[in-house]
A and B are shown apart, each in its own frame.
Chain A
């Protein structure tokens, strides 16, 4: 059951990611990215990350992607006009990408022992209570610094979006 869930959503994630790279229209890419994020949320659940799965759906697939789609609509971005795939670049880069994936797979396979398996329910430390406890004790200082980061980001966005620039 776990294997089938993993395979289903892994295939969906990879298919959506490939679609993101291949589509010429930004809206199609954005919808593919939503697909990737949704299937990744299911994989997080399988790994025992309930809180992170919820945050992934709410913040990533909800807020950030709405922002993207809003900007795409606002700018009325159309499809890319010029062909993006140059033949020479394609023939050099695609084998290199596959080589990189294969190298990563070999490395992971050699380092991670065969006995390391993921069972649903094997790790229950990813609940909101556990994450909150770690966030407000051991990681309190990074958490507070994060709020400053967000404040600066808001100010930066407001300054950038003013008329005069």
Chain B
């Protein structure tokens, strides 16, 4: 523990790195909350995107800290995977809706019709 916990006001023009990481943790936690609380399958999917965004912020912040570009590359790959996931996931949602005409996650609890 490196000091008193309520984070002191920083010097002007400089943001503590910890603030970025804490913001990232908050966004990730809200994504988890949405993933667990929502019933609409599309909103659950958007919560996953929110979690990915929170992790991306951590990657970029650490990239600044280490003065290396690797974190940017990683978050670039995360975006690519998110795009592929969105395409496939939304196609699955379309198919589920075509077969069961519902978007409630609790009603899609069995794999076979």
A: residues with CB less than 8 A from B are 1-3, 6, 10, 13-14, 17-18, 20-21, 24, 26, 29-30, 33, 36-37, 40, 43-44, 46-49, 51-52, 55-56, 59-60, 63-64, 67-68, 71-72, 74-75, 77, 80, 82, 84-85, 89, 93, 97, 100-101, 104-106, 108-110, 112-114, 116-120, 122-123, 125-126, 130-131, 134-135, 139, 142, 146, 149-150, 152-154, 156-157, 160-161, 165
Contact A64 B49 (CB under 8 A): yes
Interface hits, B78-104 → A, CB 8 Å = 79-88, 90-95, 97, 103-104
B: residues with CB less than 8 A from A are 1-3, 5, 7, 10-23, 25-27, 29-34, 36-40, 42-43, 45-47, 49-50, 53, 56-57, 60-61, 63-65, 67-70, 72-73, 75-77, 79-88, 90-95, 97, 103-104
* Contact residues of A: prevailing secondary structure: helix
Give the shortest distance, in Å, between A54 (CB) and chain B (any CB): 11
- When the two chains form the complex, which single residue of A14, A123, A130, A154 contacts B26, counting CB atoms closer than 8 Å? A14
- When the two chains form the complex, which single residue of B29, B61, B104 contacts A118, counting CB atoms closer than 8 Å? B61
Chain A residues lying within 8 Å of B17, measured Cβ to Cβ, are 112, 116-118
Interface centre among B5, B12, B13, B40 (most CB of A within 10 A): B40
Closest residue of B by beta carbon distance from A23: B43
Give the shortest distance, in Å, between B16 (CB) and chain A (any CB): 6
Contact A3 B47 (CB under 8 A): no
Closest residue of A by beta carbon distance from B103: A77
**CA separation between A63 and B79, bound complex, in Å?**
11
Contact B7 A156 (CB under 8 A): no
